[in-house]
Each structure stands twice: as structure tokens, then as C-alpha cells.
Amino acid sequence: MSGLTIMDPLEPHAWRHGTVVAGTLWKNPVGTASGTFNLDACGGYYDVSQMGAISTKGVSPVPWEGNPTPRTAESPAGMVNSVGLQNPGVDHYLVDELPRLKALGANVITNVAGHSDEDYATVVERLADSPADMLEINVSCPNVSHGGMSVGTDAKALNRLITRLRALTDKPMVVKLTPNVTDIVEVARAAVDGGADALSLINTLVGMRIDINTGRPILAQGTGGVSGPCILPIALSFVWRVRQALPEVPIIGIGGIDSGLTALEFLYAGANAVEVGAAALVDPVAPMRVARELDDLLDERPELADLLEKGECWR
């Protein structure tokens, strides 16, 4: 466990350093990453309303069963997953997790999944009048056969999809990008031109592990998505490159964050906020601890803290 500061992440805390992402106020710059937060599981460990934002598991138009098991394999300083977006669907989300999160006072980013443009449009439409604070369009999941990453790797298809979704909602729309591309700037630009209010990056990198006893992949699906500390330097470089090319667009940095220090690196790479993923799977309180550590670190960095508070970023 990180030994940066000995503090109690559960103690009531008055946040000193907030951020603004696409006009939405976050009480601190740290959110949970989609697929690594579940209210019933995490709500017991900390007060979810105290996170900067909660990005929920991808929701699809109808319930999805996900992939066969095994769905996880360990990798050095990380993990490979092929959950395949198992979720109970948007109708369930609208009467269950979303209202419960809002009743607790959470700032909610609803992560949207689909196999086709039609799927994404259906979900975005269903969410248009919901109490969700932001939408995060997941065009970057490597674990579904259609939609997901296939949209996020094709600038033209992505632009067409985001343009269509833009017409369906007034909510701040974040587009979540995949690193499995040759030119991240091209897809980032396509999303922004289509009407994205912000970008979040990165989703997982395609990877796999082999079971040397059987000579077969450990994951039933063969390949999956790599996350955890091992992807930190890669994620930072993606955020930094997009920030260089697109100085104005709000960016949520994701990938391998497990401490206030690693979160801070993303803010210096040009992110306006961050999300914590795999670290939460191995320590339920990790997102809250990262937020508390970052709050202390920003005390000593007033210039950066001021920029974030104004909805601007480090350049």
C-alpha cells in the first residue's frame, strides 16, 4: 500500500481543490473508472458522494451476458480482463443504480455501451432526461465483437456516431478513447468535431496471457484488455499527445493510477481530472485514498490547483 501520507481516507474531509470538466463541477479531480465501480460492492467501504465523480459500468440497451469465464488473468503489475460488458441494461440502471447514486449525492458519469450506432443512440436517448450528470461514450472496449473498439479505431465512423449522439442529448458528453490506434490525435479530433464535450483516455490495451500447462490462453475469450500500473506510462503519453494537439478540450486521464502522485502526473500531462480503475479492484478504498492524497499534493501546487478550479489545465 502506498505510504505517502498516513491519513484516514474515511474521515470527513473538506475538499480544497475541485475541478471543472465540461462545465460540470467535481469536488475533487478524482473519479472511479467505469467497470471498476459497483454501488452495492463499493458503497460499503466509503462515502461515494465524496468522489469527484462516479463513472458507472457500461450500460447497454438490453441486458448483456458478457463473455465466458475465465474473464481475468494476472499480468506483471496489472491484469487482463475480458468481462465483455455484462450489465443488466439501461432500463434496470434507470430505476436502480442511477437513482440510488443520485440519492446519495454522487456526481454520476453514465458509461454507455453498444454493439452498433443504433445501440448507443438508444441508450443516450433513454438517458437524456435522466439525472445522470455526464455521459461517457465507451467506443473503446476491446471485449465486444461489434461496436466498442471497432468504432473507436475508425475516425470516420466515430465522427458519424458522435454527431448522431450529439443531436440526442444536452448532457455533457465525454468520449472514451482506445489506445489501440495508430494515431490517437486523429480519433480525438474526430470525436471533438462530432460534438464531444470532453475526452477520457485511455481504455485498456489489447493483451493476453497463456497457460503454459495447457498451451492455451488463460482467458476464455483468448484476448482481453490490459490495465493497472503497467499501463501508466502509456496512458500518460496518450493524454500528453492529445493535450498538445487539442489545447482546449477537457480531458479525463485514466490508466494505472494508484496514488495521489500518479494522479498528479496526469494533471501535469494536461488532464483536467482522472479516474481510478484497476487499483480499486485490489483495494476498495483506493479511489478515495488517491483523492485525499491528491488534495494534499495540490496544496503545495497552487498554480496547478487554480487552473483546475477554473476549468483550465496545465500546459
Partner 1 sequence: MKPNLFISTSRVEEQAQEAGRLPGRRTAQVTGMEPLDRQVWRMIIRDPYLAAHAPAGAFINLYSADRMTMMPRPFGISRVLEGEQIEIIFAVVGQGTYEFSRLQPDMAVDLLGPLGHGFDLEKPAHYLLVGGGLGVPPLIRAAQCLQGQSGVRTTALLGYRDHRFADAIMGSLTDRLESIDNASGDVITLLDRVRGDIDPGRTIILTCGPLPMMRAVAAWARKAGLPAQCCMESRMGCGYGTCVACVVDTVDGRLKVCKDGPVFAADRLIWNTDEDKKETR
Ligand X SMILES: Cc1cc2nc3c(=O)[nH]c(=O)nc-3n(C[C@H](O)[C@H](O)[C@H](O)COP(=O)(O)O)c2cc1C
User: Where do contacts with ligand X occur on this chain (CB under 6 A)?
Assistant: 33-36, 57-58, 81, 83, 85, 111, 138, 141, 176, 203-204, 227-228, 231, 254-257, 276-279
Which of 19, 81 has the CB closer to partner 1?
A: 81
Please, are residues 187 and 181 in contact by the beta-carbon 8 Å criterion? yes
Q: Is 195 exposed, middle or buried (0-12, 13-18, 19+ CB in 10 A)?
A: middle
For residues 277 and 56, is the Cβ–Cβ distance under 8 A?
no
Among ligand X, partner 1, none, what does residue 203 contact (CB within 5–8 Å per kind)?
ligand X
Query: How big is the chain, counted in residues?
Result: 315
- 141 classed as catalytic: yes
Please say which residue, 172 or 225, places its beta carbon nearer to partner 1: 225
Sole binder of partner 1 in the list 14, 95, 213, 315 (CB under 8 A) = 213
Query: Cell digits for 201?
Result: 483516455
163 secondary structure, DSSP code = H
CA gap 23, 258 in Å, rounded: 26
Please give the residues from 102 up to 141 whose contact with partner 1 meets the rule CB under 8 A. none
User: In this structure, how many other beta carbons lie within 10 angstroms of the beta carbon of residue 23?
Assistant: 11
Closer CB to partner 1, 40 or 170, in the complex: 40
Kind plus residue range of the DSSP H or E element containing 81: strand 78-81
User: With contact defined as beta carbons under 8 Å apart, do 64 and 87 qualify?
Assistant: yes
Pick out residues in 222-241 that bind partner 1 (CB under 8 A). Answer: 228-229
Residues 53-92: x where in contact with partner 1 by CB under 8 A, - otherwise, as a string? ----x-------xx-xxxxxxx-xxxx-x-x--xx-----
Which residue is at the shortest CB distance from ligand X? 35
For the bound state, the minimum distance from the C-beta of residue 257 to partner 1, rounded and expressed in Å, comes to 13
Least distance (Å) between residue 274 CB and ligand X: 9
45 scored as a contact of partner 1 (CB under 8 A) = yes
Task: Name the nearest CA neighbour of 24 among 191, 198, 274, 167.
Answer: 198
**Which sequence positions are flagged as catalytic?**
141
